Structure 1
Amino acid sequence: MKKELDLVLAPQVAFDPALLEQELLQQAGLPATHASAYIHKIKRSIDARGRKVQVKVRADVYDQTPDLSSILPTYVYPEVKPNAKRVVIVGAGSAGLFAALRCLELGLKPVILERGKDVRTRRRDLAAINKEHLVNPDSNYCFGEGGAGTYSDGKLYTRSKKRGDVQRVLQILVQHGATPDILFDAHPHIGTNKLPVLIAQIRETILQAGGEIHFNTRVTDFLVENQQIKAAVTASGAVFDGEAVILATGHSARDIYELLHKKGILIEAKPFAMGVRVEHQQSLIDGIQYHCDGDRGNYLPAASYALVQQVAWRGQERGVFSFCMCPGGFIVPSATAPGEVVVNGMSPSRRDSKFANSGIVVAINLEDMDLKQHGALAGLRLQQALEQKACAAAGGTQMAPAQRLHDFVKGKVSASLLETSYQPGLASVDMLEVLPPMIGQRLRGGFQEFGNKMRGYLTNEAQIVGVESRTSSPVRIPRDKETLRHPQIQNLFPCAEGAGYAGGIVSAAMDGERCAEQVALLVQR
């Protein structure tokens, strides 16, 4: 017997595992001592629209343990056969790792080339950025095993449900060590403190099945013959050949865009977004969202928010919106080269920092870029110019330019700044002198509107930190909608964020799987 339940519960019940189990069994008409009962939790979401916060829980309760293979499937990765076709995967982020896992399932041998270090060794370079202001161009918050998602939050929520099987991706993550809660929370999140262990376990799965992963291996060229890609060449001169190349480099691999452009391989400028990070006290956001005095209690998670507003400047409207909101999190330095300052956000699994931060960014359309001079690289040049200007404005290190929020809206340089989660430190700067007017002026209007939507949000007890410029790739590497192959270069599969087709851990993972499936269709004909 299966009982399908849709309940509205108090937070102290919904977020307490023992009380939740007891409530579900009771609602299903089963005693708490029913030893053979099985609970399949499907979805949990917070409803904070009313004055009293409630939690919606959906679950199936079985009086006897069912066949779990249909509920929690186990994915098997068979050992690569000696004659298996090789697939070169450039990048060991979410897309590259999931492409490799799917290749194994389909009988292909994945060969991953990753410019950065393994996930554990990579920590030293992150410490060097934070403490010594030293940026390693090959190992940082963007590059290295696990990609940008590993050390920048680990949020798993995606709207890209038509691009693949979201639940399958989450189940694979659970199989490799993620908490099962990600399978039913409406906005699942692993946490940057737990992701490294999970990423290392995925690596072991790939290696044990016979796949290859090469760290400290930066691709510097591609061998192309008769419009067909044959191999990837690395900085050391090593040549890695394969039946196909999946290009899963992430949105910050600027040298790859430069290489493709130089070789005459078609790339395109695409819209993206840039702006700042705004940092509040988490208690303030909790108070606004949960209608409380800032003390959310022991059960409710740190509150988040999502904001969007159309703002006009010189007669042209652009979207101003929150991006990668990190409750209970930290702002981190995400530059990939010396002489630039880039900020991003992350949260540990407990989301227990006293700070909340979010990107607040402005949409950049093609007409906002200098396409005549820079062509397909116009957005990339715009990014670089802003990041270098931010670095110079804050003193030429990894210190970031900052301004109190209300001061920014009023056009006043802040006499002092607030305590921050950003370890390299902040410099008080007039951010309107750093940001291009098309961004800065729209941000001012956006913050004013956000203050109307969330009373208390627009305050000088919050500050903006710049610049948030790596929201997505400013370049698209075109591909066929069906085969996912590049229209000009045979056997080249542009993939995920770096090619302009995904925006986060889960959507990138799904795109990696899709590319692997198309490679299999191609090489197994």
Structure 2
Amino acid sequence: MQKPLNVILPHLHMPVKKSGSREQPIIIGLGPAGLFAAIELIARGFKPILFDRGKRIEERTVDVHAFMTKKVLDPESNIQFGEGGAGSYSDGKLFSRAINSAHINKVLDTFIRFGAPKEIATVSKPHLGTDVLCGIVRNMRNHILDRGGEIHYRSKMTDLLLSDRCVVGIIINGEREYRCSSLYLAVGHSSRDTFEMLHQKGVMLEQKPISVGVRVEHPVEVINRMRYGDHSPDVSAAGAATYSLHYTDKKINRSVHTFCMCPGGEVINASSEHGMMVVNGMSDSARSSKFSNAAMVVTCRTTDYPSLHPLAGIWFQQDIERKAFLSGGGSNMIPAQNLLDFLNGKVSGDLNRNSCAIGTMSADLHGIFPLFVNDALLSAFAVWREQYPVFVSSDALLMGAETRTTAPLRITRNDKFESVNTRHLYPIGEGSGYTGGITSSAADAIRAVNAVIG
């Protein structure tokens, strides 16, 4: 039996207003992939039309702050959706494994051109921070508009128009039609209703493995002591230290690893759907918070999903997120448990001080996850307790659930970046299922435009 996605599909009987021309490429999504695709298209002489379901970065920031303080979620304007994409509210890492790639270098040079500090081109682990990223996004927007591109906010693609398995246009907000001969789909990893619509339209999708787990947070001084020893330099002089941990549980053949480590950052509620709870980490450029956090996630296989359906990875995520929401009292507060209590199977009486502006609620995090996730986390923390006693200590706090590490599916494409069964549809960025992170998503967009235009 298929599980519902809790989405509202377009009313196809609604009157349609036509606009646009077939010569203008259309881009869906204003995250790194969408923005860099637009910049590359403009450099090639095109005037793209961009649509995003969310708001301008300035308005989006207001909505995010209101969510953190009032706990009222706007499903279309939040940590996941809006101009700049999910990466705008993160640590702003610009790391990629393809360090010497010409496309990666072009991405870094483009960021510098639009306001990033020049040192990102030379340091080993560059990062921007939310405050700097938001300014860069504004500069990119102005560049696109100044050169004849169009940007439409609060504009969700609700239908895909096809003729003989070829994209001929889209419907926005169930009422406005735009014709096009090339559609760059840069929707991000959390556009679940869009994935549902694509599946209904027959676009080829396939399952992809993900990782899920918790956020672990410590005072900055604790992590600095773990990295530098008891005589670690003052934080104000050395800055907030980073770390990376990996463990493989050979008994159950699962790996546990850090993801998106945020030194001097904060843990945020990154939900984009009512009744769901997702956490993420965020830092400003100075990494000036008194806390450091990282996701601690367990590898999941597609065989862990409830069925072979291409959307089953989403259902797997939603099941965890729904349990996490209820564990937080159903109030958008983040469920949390002191690490030692998690290891001892005990609900925490008093939670450790933490960075969460939206608030935390004591909960048994074991009840959120499948058994294999709990078992892998327990094994990893037991090993790290021997290796890093400062890390697995009374100073550590766990929060959940971390589920959006990557897209749980892939919009299958060929080496020309085109959907394998839907012509003129070009999935790019994290939502395509082929990339992860700001830099690789931006580079993916550049490569796609080059492949399409030649």
TM-score w.r.t. length of structure 2: 0.93
The change in CA–CA distance for 1:297 and 1:151 in structure 2 (over 3 A counts) is closer
- Is the Cα–Cα contact under 8 Å of residues 205 and 411 in structure 2 kept in the other structure? yes
- Is the Cα–Cα contact under 8 Å of residues 283 and 295 in structure 1 kept in the other structure? no
1:246-277 Cα offsets, whole Å, 9 max, x none, are 11000000011110111221101110111010
Shift of 1:109: 2.0
1:337-372 Cα offsets, whole Å, 9 max, x none, are 111111000111111111000000011111111224
Query: In the alignment, which residue of structure 2 is the partner of 1:251?
Result: 189
- Is the Cα–Cα contact under 8 Å of residues 164 and 514 in structure 1 kept in the other structure? no
1:2-29 Cα offsets, whole Å, 9 max, x none, are xxxxxxxxxxxxxxxxxxxxxxxxxxxx
Q: Which has the higher contact order (CA 8 A, sep 6+)?
A: 2
Supply the distance in 2 between the matched residues of 1:162 and 1:235 (Cα, whole angstroms). 41
Query: In the alignment, which residue of structure 1 is the partner of 2:15?
Result: none
Which amino acid is the alignment partner of residue 500 of structure 1?
Answer: G
Query: In the alignment, which residue of structure 1 is the partner of 2:417?
Result: 484
Alignment of 1:291-306 (within 5 A): 291-296=229-234, 298-306=236-244
Alignment of 1:468-479 (within 5 A): 468-479=402-413
1:40-94 Cα offsets, whole Å, 9 max, x none, are xxxxxxxxxxxxxxxxxxxxxxxxxxxxxxxxxxxxxxxxxx9993111110000
Alignment of 1:198-347 (within 5 A): 198-296=136-234, 298-312=236-250, 315-347=251-283
2:388 to 445, 448, 454: 454
- Is the Cα–Cα contact under 8 Å of residues 164 and 510 in structure 1 kept in the other structure? no
The change in CA–CA distance for 1:468 and 1:148 in structure 2 (over 3 A counts) is same
TM-score w.r.t. length of structure 1: 0.80
2:335 to 395, 401, 404: 401
Supply the distance in 1 between the matched residues of 2:116 and 2:451 (Cα, whole angstroms). 28
Alpha-carbon RMSD: 1.6
1:166-208 Cα offsets, whole Å, 9 max, x none, are 1211111111111112111111011111211110000111111
- Asked whether 1:110 is paired with 2:59, we answer no
Which amino acid is the alignment partner of residue 309 of structure 1?
Answer: Y
Supply the distance in 1 between the matched residues of 2:102 and 2:442 (Cα, whole angstroms). 9
Secondary structure, in 3 states, of the residue corresponding to 2:69?
Answer: helix
Secondary structure, in 3 states, of the residue corresponding to 2:87?
Answer: coil
Unaligned runs of 5+ in 2: 1-19
Which amino acid is the alignment partner of residue 439 of structure 1?
Answer: V
Query: In the alignment, which residue of structure 2 is the partner of 1:422?
Result: 356
Q: Identify the range of structure 1 (154-163 vs 502-511) with the bigger mean alpha-carbon deviation.
A: 154-163
- Is the Cα–Cα contact under 8 Å of residues 393 and 429 in structure 1 kept in the other structure? yes
Alignment of 1:133-212 (within 5 A): 133-161=71-99, 165-212=103-150
- Is the Cα–Cα contact under 8 Å of residues 327 and 364 in structure 2 kept in the other structure? no
- Is the Cα–Cα contact under 8 Å of residues 21 and 178 in structure 2 kept in the other structure? no
1:127 to 62, 65, 78: 65
Shift of 1:152: 1.6
- Is the Cα–Cα contact under 8 Å of residues 207 and 311 in structure 2 kept in the other structure? yes
Supply the distance in 1 between the matched residues of 2:235 and 2:161 (Cα, whole angstroms). 59
- Is the Cα–Cα contact under 8 Å of residues 84 and 107 in structure 1 kept in the other structure? no
- Is the Cα–Cα contact under 8 Å of residues 306 and 315 in structure 2 kept in the other structure? no
Alignment of 1:83-102 (within 5 A): 85-102=23-40
Query: In the alignment, which residue of structure 2 is the partner of 1:362?
Result: 298
Which amino acid is the alignment partner of residue 517 of structure 1?
Answer: N
- Is the Cα–Cα contact under 8 Å of residues 287 and 296 in structure 1 kept in the other structure? no
Shift of 1:455: 3.4
Supply the distance in 1 between the matched residues of 2:183 and 2:101 (Cα, whole angstroms). 21
Unaligned runs of 5+ in 1: 1-81
Percent identical: 37
Supply the distance in 1 between the matched residues of 2:100 and 2:118 (Cα, whole angstroms). 23
- Is the Cα–Cα contact under 8 Å of residues 22 and 179 in structure 2 kept in the other structure? no
How many residue pairs match? The answer is 435
Supply the distance in 2 between the matched residues of 1:266 and 1:338 (Cα, whole angstroms). 28
The change in CA–CA distance for 1:438 and 1:164 in structure 2 (over 3 A counts) is farther
Supply the distance in 2 between the matched residues of 1:360 and 1:506 (Cα, whole angstroms). 22
Which amino acid is the alignment partner of residue 138 of structure 1?
Answer: E
- Asked whether 1:499 is paired with 2:432, we answer yes
User: Which has more radius of gyration?
Assistant: 1
